[in-house]
Structure 1
Amino acid sequence: MTALTPRTLGPQPTADALPYAALTREIEDLLQDPTVAVPPRLVQPLHGGGSLFVMPAADARVAMTKLITFIANNAQRGLPTIQGDIVLFDVTTGQRMAMIDGPTVTARRTAAVSLLAAQKLAPRKDGPLLIVGAGVQGLSHLKAFHQGLGVQEVWIASRSASSADALVGHAERLGLKARRVDDPNAALAECPLVITTTPAQQVVMTARPRDDAFVSAVGAFTPRMVEWSADVCQHLAHTGTLVVDTRDADHEAGDLLQAGVNVELLPTLRDVVCQTEAWQTAAQRRLEHGGPVFFKSCGWGGWDLAAARCVAAQLSR
C-alpha cells in the first residue's frame, strides 16, 4: 500500500473546504452516526490564565485530535485568541491525512452548530440578527446566518466601536443592511435572532430576549465564564426553552451553571435532531407555553470531527 502524503491546509484552504451548507449537513449527519466516539476534552490551565485544549474524536473512517490554546487577552498583544491545529488520520491505516488550521475550524464549526440549532429551533428566521461581540466568532456567525438562514439585516454591538464598525462594513459588503448599536440589551426588543460571542469575562446581557427570540450563547464555554445574567437565565428556564449543544455542557455551561440551572435536565442538539423523548417532552412544553429559545453552545470535539469529515471527503476526490 502506498503511503499517503499528508496535506497541510492553512486558514484559507481550510475555510474553502468547509462551506457552511456542507458543514451544517455534516454536523447533523454526525449526530445520527452511532460510530462516533468523542471522549471528554482535556482542558489544561496555563500560567497566566490561558488554557490548552486537547480534543480527540473518531468515527468509522476518520480520527482526529485538536490541539489549541485559548488566551483571552491576546487581542491586547495583537495575537489571535485561539491558536493551534487539527491532525486527521485514516482509521483503517492509521496514516496521517492532513493538518488543518485549528482557529478556522473552531470559527466555522461553532457558527455552523448555531446555524443548525437556529434552523431547527428559531421561532422566527427573518431577523434582524443581533450579534454581540465583533471578533472572529461574530464574523463567522454573520456569514453562516446570511448564507444558511437568509438573514438580510444585522445589528452589531461590541465593547470596541471600531471592531463593531469593521463588522458592519463587512456585512454591507455582503449586501446586508447593517448598523452598529451601542446598547445590546436595548436592541434585544427589536431582534428575534441573537448571537452572543463576547470574551465572557463578565456579564454583558442583562435584559430578557423577546418571546419569539432564538438566542445562541457562544462566548462562555467553561464554568467560570459568563455572558448572560443569572436573572435572565433563571427567567428563561421557567418561561422559555433551553437547549445545550452536548452533555459536556452539564459541567461547562458557565451562564447556566452560575444561575443555578440544572443543566443535566436540558435536551441537547442531538435530542432535537433525533427527535428523542427528551426533546419531545420539551417541544410539547414549548408548544403549550411558547417563550424564547436559548441555545447554549460550549463546544465539543464532535464538531471538529464533522469538519474533519468534510476535509477528508474533499481530499479523497
Structure 2
Amino acid sequence: MRTLDAAETAAALPWGPLVEAMLRMFERERRGEARAAPRTAVPLAAGGTMLLMPAADADFAALKTVTVHAGNAARGLPVVQGEVVLFDAATGTRLLALDGNVLTARRTAALSLAGAMRAGRKGAERVLLIGAGVQARAHAEALAELWDVRRLAIHARTAAHAEDLARHMRSLGVEAQAIADPDAVAREADLVVAATNALDPVVPPDLRPDACVIAIGAYRADMAEVPAALVRRGSVFVDTLEGARREAGDLIRAEVDWRAVQDFAHAVPAAAGAPVLVKTVGHALWDLAAARLAHDEEK
C-alpha cells in the first residue's frame, strides 16, 4: 500500500478532475451503485473522539478515520488528525492511504462547486468569502482556478487571518482584499461562501436577487451561518438529505420545507435570476470519490 503525505495528497487531487469525480459519484449514488454507512463516533481518552466513515461502490471501498482532541492545541499537536484508506472492493487489498485533512479540505471545496453546478450555477465574478481557515482557503483556491474569480472580498473574525488569506490569493493573481464589514459588499457579490464555525448567522441578509450562497460551516443542528429568511427565500440544494435533516442547522433553524429541498444526485437546476443556497454537511461517498481519483492519478 502506498502512503501519500499532505503535499502528495494535494497533488493527487487536482481541482478540475476532483470536481468531475464528485459529479460522477452523484451519478453512482443516484443509480444505487455506491453506498455509505452512518458515521460512527467512539469516545476516546482525554475527551477525544474517533470518527469512522466507510463507503463503497462496485470497484473500491474507502474508510476515513478521524480523531478529534480539543486539548491538543495546548500540547502543540493538531486538534484534528485523520487518514483515508482506499481498498480494492473485490479483494480487500489496501491500495492507498491519503492525508485525511488535506483530502477533506479539497474534496469539500470540489463538492461545493459540483453542487453549485447541479443547482445551475457555473461561475462567479465577485465573491464574498466569510471565514479564513483551511476550508475558506481551499474554496478560494478552487474558485480562482476553476471559475476564474478575479475579485474576492474576505471577512473573518480575526482581521489578520483575513489579510493573510487575501495576500495569498493576490499571489495567485486574484484581486483580493480583507474587509471589516461584509454587509458593505454583499449586494455586489454574485457568490457568497461561508466557511465558519459560527453558532449564529454570518451571511448578510441583503444579497443580490440572483445570488448563490455556499454554506459549509454549520455542521450541527445548533449552528447556522445563513439567516432563516434567506434560507426560505431561495432554492435549497444539499449534498445528502439524510445528513442535512440531522446536521444542517441553517435549514433546521429555518424550519425549511424539506419537500422542496433537493439533493445533488437528483437535482433539477434552479431558474436563472433566483437565489440559490448550496449546503453541505459531508458524507463518506465524497471521500471515496476523492480517493478513487487519487488512485487513478497515481497510476
Letter in 1 for 2:293: C
1:243 aligns to what? 237
1:168 aligns to what? 166
Q: CA, structure 1 residues 267+73, in 2 after alignment: closer, same or farther (shift >3 Å)? A: farther
2:99 aligns to what? 101
Within-5 A mapping of 1:8-47: 8-33=3-28, 34=31, 35-44=33-42
Deviation at 1:212, TM superposition (A): 1.4
1:312 aligns with 2:291: no
TM-score by length of 1: 0.85
Deviation at 1:148, TM superposition (A): 1.2
Letter in 1 for 2:284: G
Letter in 2 for 1:254: G
Q: For 1:302 and 1:59, how far apart are their aligned partners in 2?
A: 9
Q: CA, structure 1 residues 25+41, in 2 after alignment: closer, same or farther (shift >3 Å)? A: same
- Does the CA-based 8 Å contact 1:122-1:213 persist in structure 2? no
Q: For 1:76 and 1:210, how far apart are their aligned partners in 2?
A: 43
Unaligned runs of 5+ in 2: none
Deviations 1:237-281 (Å, cap 9, x if unpaired)? 2x3211111122121111111221133541011112xxxxxx37x
Letter in 1 for 2:3: T
Partner secondary structure for residue 3 of structure 2:
strand
- Does the CA-based 8 Å contact 1:155-1:181 persist in structure 2? yes
Letter in 2 for 1:297: T
Aligned CA RMSD, in angstroms, stands at: 2.4
Deviation at 1:48, TM superposition (A): 8.0
- Does the CA-based 8 Å contact 2:186-2:204 persist in structure 1? no
1:86 aligns to what? 84
Q: For 2:79 and 2:194, how far apart are their aligned partners in 1?
A: 16
Q: For 1:155 and 1:72, how far apart are their aligned partners in 2?
A: 30
Q: For 1:72 and 1:264, how far apart are their aligned partners in 2?
A: 37
Letter in 1 for 2:19: T
- Does the CA-based 8 Å contact 2:126-2:150 persist in structure 1? yes
Q: For 1:245 and 1:66, how far apart are their aligned partners in 2?
A: 18
- Does the CA-based 8 Å contact 1:132-1:138 persist in structure 2? yes
Q: For 1:312 and 1:145, how far apart are their aligned partners in 2?
A: 24
Letter in 2 for 1:252: E
1:204 aligns to what? 202
Deviation at 1:45, TM superposition (A): 6.3
| Aligned residue pairs, count | 295
Q: CA, structure 1 residues 69+204, in 2 after alignment: closer, same or farther (shift >3 Å)? A: farther
Letter in 2 for 1:170: H
Q: For 1:8 and 1:227, how far apart are their aligned partners in 2?
A: 36
Within-5 A mapping of 1:126-275: 126-233=124-231, 237=232, 239-247=233-241, 248-263=243-258, 265-272=260-267
- Does the CA-based 8 Å contact 1:40-1:55 persist in structure 2? yes
Letter in 2 for 1:59: D
Letter in 2 for 1:301: A
Q: For 1:179 and 1:245, how far apart are their aligned partners in 2?
A: 30
- Does the CA-based 8 Å contact 2:195-2:216 persist in structure 1? yes
TM-score by length of 2: 0.90
More off after superposition, 31-40 vs 53-62: 31-40
1:297 aligns to what? 280
Partner secondary structure for residue 291 of structure 1:
coil
Letter in 1 for 2:51: F
Could you list the runs of 4 or more consecutive aligned residues of structure 1 that deviate by over 6 angstroms after TM superposition?
A: 45-50, 72-77
1:62 pairs, out of 60, 77, 81, with 60
Deviations 1:73-97 (Å, cap 9, x if unpaired)? 8767765453211111111221111
2:2 aligns to what? 7
2:108 aligns to what? 110
Deviation at 1:180, TM superposition (A): 0.7
